[in-house]
Amino acid sequence: MSVRVAVIGAGAAGLCAVRHLASRPSTFSVQAFEQSPGVGGTWVYTEKTGTDIYGLPIHSSMYKNLKTNLPKEVMAFPDFPFDKQLPSFIKHQDVLQYLEKYATHFNLLQHIKFETQVIKVQPIHCPKEQSPTGQDQKWEVTSAPVLDSKKSVTEEYDAVIVCNGHYAVPLIPKVPGLETFSGEIIHSHTYRAPEDFKNQTVLCLGAAASGQDISIDLSSEAKMVYLCHNKSLIQSPLPPNVQQKPGIQSVSGSTVTLNNGEEISADCLLFCTGYHFRFPFLTESCHLHIEEERLTPLYKHLIHTEFPTLSFIGICKTICPFPQFHVQILLVLAALDGSFQLPSKEEMDADTEADYQKRLSEGLPKRHAHTMGNRQWAYNDEIARLAGCELIQKSVKNLYDAVHETRVKNLVGYKRVNYEMVNECSYSEAC
């Protein structure tokens, strides 16, 4: 009896799930659902903001000039390298092309229903002895064509893998007086091109990857960019019209008061403050809780502990996404086919709580419950070991660390360096 699996989304995570499920047809059957007409998810750039041709919110957060902030050598899925001819830091179009090639190479398109949105997922009871997963639940998945939502269909699956992405629903923190701001307020999700800000003074809020990148992109056209944040100062030289400032305290009309009391007049407030997790299709009976961007109850940020046949790929942040998706999916499959015996619910919840408490004890706020950074390597190794698959090569970590070092010193120019992964543990760089 094969395990019927529904995959929600055909971005990088969904494609990776389909690739591994479809490669084992005697164990799994797979049906993926993608609301857009093609694969690639957030890498499908559009100039448009707001809603798409179907009236759905625009999903992609790409902007015109975006180049990857990781070199292609560490971005790739372990079983599918990027084109050798490309430089290390590539355009968003190149990543989309890579994902399209991955889909064709592994023959994935036949398993994906495009322009079909999953609108409801709910667990139903199933006696263990009748279930190919050995769990006592299966799933009702309701989907509908985006062109005619009345034609919805409900089907049963033994497992559901959620790959709907988490860079699509902007998170804008509360700022006193924000509603009085006389200029434009946008979020990095809707930032597209620096030309839209010609000669403007822009206050960019947040200095994580997007805030840093967008400030530099904007500096080619804007009169002045204030990069406002509460982290320690970026040490790298910045363009002359990009200045670091403290975070903002309040807004009144066109004046923004910063945390040090300084007042700045701005034409635009650009929030680079991250995104919300959203799973509008999960019914309450799925018992997924989201509190300050912490999802529970997920074992290893991945598998629902009450319903182990429900899993979520790509929840972790500040990672090398594609390699991590690869090992996460292999663990989900190992749990579904029984080759990995999941611990009891109590043990899984205790493991999750221990990870969470460790983060808190290190001073991380709750909203960083899924942030990885340097934690990702031990995590990836653990996931791979549990899955019984190959570990991600050490050279990925080495190169990631080397790029980080270069980036800290040269935020404006680090993407001009080309890297090559020579062997397991070293790299060479050439300008």
Task: Give the footprint of ligand FAD on this chain (CB under 6 A).
Answer: 8-14, 33-36, 41-43, 59, 61-62, 68-70, 75, 117-118, 163-165, 167, 210, 281, 314, 321-322
Strand 289-291 with 294-296, pairing:
antiparallel
Q: Which residue, 251 or 310, has its beta carbon nearer to ligand FAD?
A: 310
**Smallest gap from residue 397 Cβ to ligand FAD (A):** 14
**Smallest gap from residue 117 Cβ to ligand FAD (A):** 4
Strand 263-265 with 255-258, pairing:
antiparallel
Helix, strand, or coil here: 60? coil
CA neighbor of 31 nearest in space, from 54, 7, 49, 11: 7
Q: ω before 71 within 30° of 0 (cis)?
A: no
Q: Which residue, 123 or 321, has its beta carbon nearer to ligand FAD?
A: 321
For the record, the structure tokens of 82 come out as: 């990027």
Residues with Cβ within 8 Å of residue 32, at least 6 apart in sequence: 6, 7, 8, 9, 10, 14, 17, 18, 108, 111, 112, 113
Residues with Cβ within 8 Å of residue 264, at least 6 apart in sequence: 201, 203, 226, 245, 255, 256, 258
Q: Which residue, 308 or 321, has its beta carbon nearer to ligand FAD?
A: 321
How close are the terminal C-alpha atoms of the chain, in Å? 55
**Smallest gap from residue 265 Cβ to ligand FAD (A):** 28
**Smallest gap from residue 131 Cβ to ligand FAD (A):** 25
CA neighbor of 137 nearest in space, from 301, 345, 361, 374: 345
Angle at 85 between CA 82 and CA 428, to 5 degrees: 85
Q: Which residue, 118 or 228, has its beta carbon nearer to ligand FAD?
A: 118
**Smallest gap from residue 62 Cβ to ligand FAD (A):** 6
Distances (CA, A) of 36 to 27, 41, 348: 28, 8, 35
Residues with Cβ within 8 Å of residue 252, at least 6 apart in sequence: 177, 180
Q: Which residue, 113 or 345, has its beta carbon nearer to ligand FAD?
A: 113
The Cα 302–Cα 389 span in angstroms is 17
**Smallest gap from residue 113 Cβ to ligand FAD (A):** 9
Q: Which residue, 106 or 167, has its beta carbon nearer to ligand FAD?
A: 167
**Smallest gap from residue 255 Cβ to ligand FAD (A):** 30
**Smallest gap from residue 311 Cβ to ligand FAD (A):** 13
Angle at 227 between CA 224 and CA 229, to 5 degrees: 160
Beta bridge partners of 118: 143
**Smallest gap from residue 168 Cβ to ligand FAD (A):** 6
Q: Which residue, 208 or 258, has its beta carbon nearer to ligand FAD?
A: 208
134 CB-side CA count, 13 A: 9
Helix, strand, or coil here: 276? coil
Torsion, Cα 40 164 366 304, to 10 degrees, reads -130
**Smallest gap from residue 15 Cβ to ligand FAD (A):** 7
Q: Which residue, 131 or 376, has its beta carbon nearer to ligand FAD?
A: 376
Q: Which residue, 44 or 126, has its beta carbon nearer to ligand FAD?
A: 44
Q: Which residue, 42 or 200, has its beta carbon nearer to ligand FAD?
A: 42
Neighbours of 130 (CB within 10 A): 9
